[in-house]
Amino acid sequence: MKCSVVVACYNNPDLVLETLDSIKTQTYQNWELVLVEDCSTDHTLEVLRQYVAQQNLEDRCKLIALPENHGVSFAKGTGVRHSKGEIIVICDHDDALAPNALEEVVKAHQAYPKASIVYTQRYNCDSQLHPLEIAACSQVVYSDILEDQISHLLTYKRTCYNQTLGYDPFFKLADDRDIIYKLEEVGDVILLEKPLYYFRVSDRGVSQGYEGFNKSRDEKLIAALNAVERRKSSMVKQITPKELAKYLAEHYLLQAEGYILMNKPLSTSFSTSLLKAFYYRPGSNLKRKLKAILLLSRIKRKLQKLLKTPQSPAYHQSACEASSNS
């Protein structure tokens, strides 16, 4: 079985070379590499061209340079369309594969012909790709919407992918969730309990920081709701209304907590999220909900105290307004 390793690239050319080296040195040799350069603002495209030429990979590597930046989902979809392998392997441009990654996933796909997805354990690494820990991961029992277990390394059969709508360019941060939910609707999902992926924990990622996490979760919610709507006709791995309410309550509570942790003033998004968390499951996670309310109350009291402090510019503005009105 031929593996097509798809790598969507955008900026950070200093990181992608380690990724490419990990692919080139695989123990399993029946692979092709599909690089999609998403119109980077730096010299990433030139770095990729030099690497392909210097490593003599012209016969097994396709380098696609997009004229405009469309985001990671569009780039991955483009890569899959230009690939030919029976197995699609998704590798991010700042991570790396274990030397035997392709060999192991091919064996798993062969052993489970009805599996649409084979995913593996991963190493969480520092910024230099030194392993720190094996990330917690378990076998999905029913649906990843509820269980949230599938991550890197994500691999899937082309025949199964062709039964889905493919990558949706709408998703900029949760493209993996969207395609995973689609793929689990057309086949089995298998966990390979071996750490075969090196995931770089870096501050350069587009979804880093509390604001990035919240945006990513919002997209993940859209992907989940799209899946629920799709499954109304097929009922394949559909979740119940009770399960959906639990999912929504947890989502909005996490969003509320995320807004608190952001280094910026709280907006109506915080209160809306907290209210929705109460609405969907009024009696659950009360300690976390009360903690959020108390923290908000303390922030309000601090603001009120600040407004009443004579040294505060806001106090002087209020005093002047009161004086002018008297």
Rounded mean pLDDT, 249-278? 89
Q: Apex CA 190: angle with CA 185 and CA 195, to 5°?
A: 135
Q: Which residues contact 246 (CB under 8 A, 6 or more apart)?
A: 280, 281, 284
Question: What is the per-residue pLDDT for 322?
Answer: 37
Rounded mean pLDDT, 267-296? 88
Question: What is the per-residue pLDDT for 207?
Answer: 47
Residues 190-245: tens digit of each pLDDT: 999 999 999 998 765 554 577 888 999 999 999 999 999 999 999 999 999 999 99
pLDDT confidence tier of residue 296, bands split at 50, 70 and 90: low
What pTM, to 2 d.p., does this model score? 0.87
Residues 166-176: tens digit of each pLDDT: 999 999 999 99
Alpha-carbon separation of residue 141 from 107, 145, 149 (angstroms): 21, 11, 10
Residues 75-127: tens digit of each pLDDT: 999 999 999 999 999 999 999 999 999 999 999 999 999 999 999 999 999 99
Which domains, and CATH codes, for the chain?
A: 3-200 (3.90.550.10), 209-308 (no CATH)
Question: What is the per-residue pLDDT for 318?
Answer: 40
Question: What is the per-residue pLDDT for 303?
Answer: 52
Per-residue exposure over 180-189, b if at least 16 CB sit within 10 Å of its own CB, e if not: bbbbbbbbeb
Residues 6-31: tens digit of each pLDDT: 999 999 999 999 999 999 999 999 99
Alpha-carbon separation of residue 231 from 183, 226, 244 (angstroms): 12, 9, 13
pLDDT confidence tier of residue 298, bands split at 50, 70 and 90: low
pLDDT confidence tier of residue 305, bands split at 50, 70 and 90: low
Q: Which of 140-144, 206-210, 266-270 has the lowest mean pLDDT?
A: 206-210
Rounded mean pLDDT, 132-140? 96
Residues 149-172: tens digit of each pLDDT: 999 999 999 999 999 999 999 999
Is 312 a residue whose pLDDT tops 50?
no
Question: What is the per-residue pLDDT for 315?
Answer: 39
Alpha-carbon separation of residue 276 from 9, 101, 313 (angstroms): 37, 42, 36
